[in-house]
Structure 1
Amino acid sequence: MQFHYVKVWDGWVRMNHWLILLLMLVSFGTAKSQKMDWHMLSGYTILTLLIFRLLWGVFGSDSARFATFLAWPGAAWRQLAKLGRREPDTEVSHNPAGGWMVVLLLALLLTQATSGLFTYDQVFTRGPLARWVSEEWVDFASTLHVKNFYWLLAAIVAHVVAVGVYFVAKSHDLLGPMIHGEKKLPADIPPPRMASPAFGLALLALSAAIVWGITRMRIGL
């Protein structure tokens, strides 16, 4: 079988992936060191990237679109049942199981970022939306913000383990393409369509504007 290298991940997807990981570490470190201004700035940036990823999952490159990689749960189970079978990687996007992992990670990240908007530590740090909801909701969001972090951490560990298992069991390199963008695929598989970088920049600016508007609600503007 002949193979060729196909660009499967555009720069926006890769930037989003690694920046969110970096900012998660920043958020954890700044929370532990009580540098809450930096913690909140990191959270706002994560929320911006998440909104962008949702938009890019609808309007972006073919491989980044949810419609491309989301399948019925049964397809994910069938794909996992073939885990021990050595066969070429034929996916130009996430495989069915990986697609649901993406959904889980995005859901947990959004829960983490949005719950932070409503938190209040009863001392100095108040999320920009905390003043607009009841005290009971603030308490719930504050508790969720702490507990969800551990659920998110567990999902990240599961994701890393899955990447390693696919490499060992099937010789599928899922990490490399997320670094350089290209994947080795059978020669008869065409590359996915890549969206315009300028369009990505416009969606990122829109996402930043949405988050900026949320932050201004802290002071009632």
Structure 2
Amino acid sequence: MPLRLFHWLLVALIAFSWWSGEEHYMEWHRLSGYAILALLVFRLWWGFTGSRTARFTQFVRGPGAVFTYAKTLFSSSRHTADGHNPLGGWSVIAMLLAIAAMVIAGLFAVDVDGWESGPLAYWVSFEQGRSAAEFHETVFNVIMALIILHVAAIVFYLAVKRMNLLRPMITGRRTKTAEEAVEDARWSPAMALIGIVIAGAVAWFVSTGFRF
């Protein structure tokens, strides 16, 4: 459940950040950015302390495993282990890194008039702040491309491999194949709570520009 909540909150906040930025509601845009930062910090925490399928060690595989899996993409074979397949695991990493780069750039960004800026913009020069703002916008376009690829992959798996990847991300359940042995995937509410506290604290400290 924590991983599914992270996923859908991130979807909503990315959309809200785009809308608030386009409409120049910069206070809302900043708050949305801090919320995304908190989600990223929580996901990092959960990637080491969360349920088995949420841990990076479960789905981040080496080049050999990725290449072997890629050769089966257009076959009728299925990935029978619960969680991300080797190729999908790296798509998760790419998405998280791109979103992190966008958020970090936004923290240092300055608008063209110098009126609006991120909480850490005072650490850099105006020119550097403008470069951060431009990078912030560029990385957002990269994220949009990754989202399109992500949706295309979901459609591909449904149409070609007859695997519904969307339903488990909503319900937390999927059909087990006959040859599959599903292990326990419990998660710790205490570890989730600690992660939420850490994520909220980091986002708050950053929002103040580390000035108290």
TM score, norm. by length of structure 1: 0.90
- State which of 174, 197, 203 in structure 2 corresponds to 1:205: 197
Structure-to-structure mapping, 1:44-55, within 5 angstroms: 44-55=34-45
2:163 alignment partner in structure 1: 172
Q: Give the superposition deviation at 1:133.
A: 2.1
Matched residue of 2:82: which SS?
coil
Q: Which of 1 and 2 has higher RCO (CA within 8 Å, sep 6+)?
A: 1
Q: Identity of counterpart residues, as a percentage?
A: 36
Q: Give the superposition deviation at 1:217.
A: 1.7
In 1: Cα distance, 2:201 partner to 2:122 partner? 21
Matched, 1:29 2:34: no
Matched, 1:105 2:86: no
Q: Give the superposition deviation at 1:35.
A: 0.4
Matched, 1:120 2:120: no
- State which of 1, 14, 21 in structure 1 corresponds to 2:4: 14
In 2: Cα distance, 1:162 partner to 1:71 partner? 19
Given residue 100 of structure 2, which amino acid in structure 1 is its aligned partner?
L
Which sections of structure 1, spanning at least 5 residues, go unmatched?
1-10
- State which of 41, 46, 56 in structure 1 corresponds to 2:46: 56
CA 1:111–1:133 in structure 2 vs 1: closer, same or farther (change >3 Å)? same
- How many residues are treated as equivalent by the alignment? 210
CA contact (8 A) 2:49 2:191 kept: no
Q: Report runs of 4+ in structure 1 exceeding 4 Å deviation.
A: none
1:142 alignment partner in structure 2: 133
User: Which structure: greater strand fraction?
Assistant: 1
Matched residue of 2:99: which SS?
helix
TM score, norm. by length of structure 2: 0.94
Q: Give the superposition deviation at 1:139.
A: 2.4
CA contact (8 A) 1:166 1:173 kept: yes
RMSD of aligned residue pairs (Cα, Å): 1.4
CA 1:94–1:192 in structure 2 vs 1: closer, same or farther (change >3 Å)? farther
- State which of 187, 193, 197 in structure 1 corresponds to 2:185: 193
In 1: Cα distance, 2:79 partner to 2:90 partner? 18
1:85-109 deviation per Cα after TM superposition (whole angstroms, max 9, x unaligned): 2234412110000000000000001
Given residue 155 of structure 1, which amino acid in structure 2 is its aligned partner?
L
**Higher mean Cα deviation, 39-48 or 80-89?**
80-89
Q: Give the superposition deviation at 1:135.
A: 3.2
Structure-to-structure mapping, 1:209-220, within 5 angstroms: 209-217=201-209, 220=211
In 1: Cα distance, 2:65 partner to 2:155 partner? 21
Q: Give the superposition deviation at 1:193.
A: 2.9
In 1: Cα distance, 2:55 partner to 2:41 partner? 14
CA contact (8 A) 2:108 2:117 kept: yes
Matched, 1:41 2:31: yes
